């Protein structure tokens, strides 16, 4: 029994459409990956800035606490100290009061600055999620297009185009900075 396999597809039109689809989707995925890489770098920088600023905030709070404790100790010890040591204690207390005022003034500023970096990270993350969703939809579209070519099925190609349209939409959301967020996909894949 001989089986004749034709090296030529029955419908060249389908193969041409699949080829164009794969090329177009691949180029779009490549562009999205470049932009997503830049977004990931910006996210890493925002997170690093946030962590650094929160660390500075915590260090300032610790310095405030230490200064307040030292101020209390010097006040208590100077009450029973000789006159010569009371003058030195007064000088030390004045210096500590300045430090305490400086720390108390900088703590709210540092907290706001750190919170702003956190908000920046969250805002950038929305666009990272958009590009991730775009990539997932586009790679699915490319895979389904390959199946369409192998099975010589126009309906499969239409399904690939539907996934590709979703991927292009998500990619455009990322490029244009639109606020649409793929919550379902993010929760499923995140």
What tokens were used for 29?
A: 């995925």
- Summarised one tens digit per residue, pLDDT across range 114-135 is 999 999 999 999 999 999 999 9
Would the pTM count as exceeding 0.95?
A: no
Task: Report, as an integer, the average pLDDT of 91-114.
Answer: 95
* Average pLDDT rounded to a whole number, residues 26-45: 96
Rounded Cα–Cα distance for residues 58 and 67 (Å): 14
Return the number of other C-beta atoms located less than 10 Å from residue 90's C-beta. Answer: 12
In the numeric block, the tokens 């209390």 are attached to: 72
Write down the domain spans for the chain.
Answer: 12-63+115-185
Contacts of 132 by beta carbon, 8 Å cutoff, 6+ apart: 36, 185, 186, 189
Q: Give every CB contact of residue 50 below 8 A, 6+ residues apart in sequence.
A: 114, 117, 118, 121
Distance linking the first and last C-alpha atoms of the chain: 53
């Amino acid at each position: 029994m001989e089986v004749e396999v034709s090296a030529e597809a029955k419908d060249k039109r389908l193969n041409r459409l699949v080829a164009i689809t794969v090329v177009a989707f691949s180029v779009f995925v490549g562009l999205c990956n470049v932009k997503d890489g830049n977004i990931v770098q910006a996210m890493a920088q925002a997170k690093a800035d946030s962590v650094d600023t929160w660390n500075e905030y915590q260090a300032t709070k610790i310095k405030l606490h230490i200064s307040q404790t030292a101020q209390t100790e010097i006040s208590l010890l100077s009450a029973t100290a000789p006159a010569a040591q009371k003058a030195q204690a007064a000088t030390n207390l004045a210096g500590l009061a300045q430090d305490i005022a400086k720390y108390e003034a900088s703590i709210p500023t540092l907290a706001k600055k750190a919170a702003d970096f956190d908000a920046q990270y969250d805002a950038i993350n929305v666009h990272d999620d958009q590009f991730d969703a775009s990539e997932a939809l586009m790679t699915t579209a490319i895979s389904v297009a390959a199946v369409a070519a192998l099975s010589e099925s126009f309906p499969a190609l239409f399904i690939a185009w539907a996934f590709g349209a979703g991927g292009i939409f998500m990619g455009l959301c990322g490029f244009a900075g639109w606020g649409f967020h793929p919550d379902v996909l993010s929760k499923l894949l995140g």
